[in-house]
Amino acid sequence: MKIFKVIAVTVLFLLISVSILIGCLYFFKDREKKEITDTDRKNAGGQYVMLKQGYTHYQIAGPDTGKTVILIHGFSVPYYIWDGTFEYLVNQGFRVI
């Protein structure tokens, strides 16, 4: 019975240690805080507009005379979620932003 307690304590210790390590890596290696330079923006394509709280990236495609469709992604999913829809709508003659 004593061996099971030792194993349980060891496993619990390892789980807590790994959780702390993962937490530290998350807070100290947060890649979301990378500063995007003008070179990065140039290589990314699309256009940028400077707003009060920073730059916003956008793309416009399709004929000027087409009905306008605006696609907006959520905060946790990048704009590429709309790639297939964007291309389809442009091919159907819509002006897509």
**Whether the model pTM is above 0.85:** no
Q: Of 12, 9, 8, which is closest to residue 20 (Cα–Cα)?
A: 12
Instruction: Tell me the chain's radius of gyration from C-alpha atoms.
Output: 24
DSSP, residue by residue, 45-61: -SEEEEETTEEEEE--B
pLDDT at 32 over 70: no
Contacts of 70 (CB under 8 A, 6+ apart): 96, 97
Mean pLDDT across 13-24 = 89
- Is 90 exceeded by the pLDDT of residue 70? yes
- Scanning the structure block, which residue is given the tokens 């709508």? 89
When pLDDT is cut at 50, 70 and 90, the band that residue 64 belongs to is very high
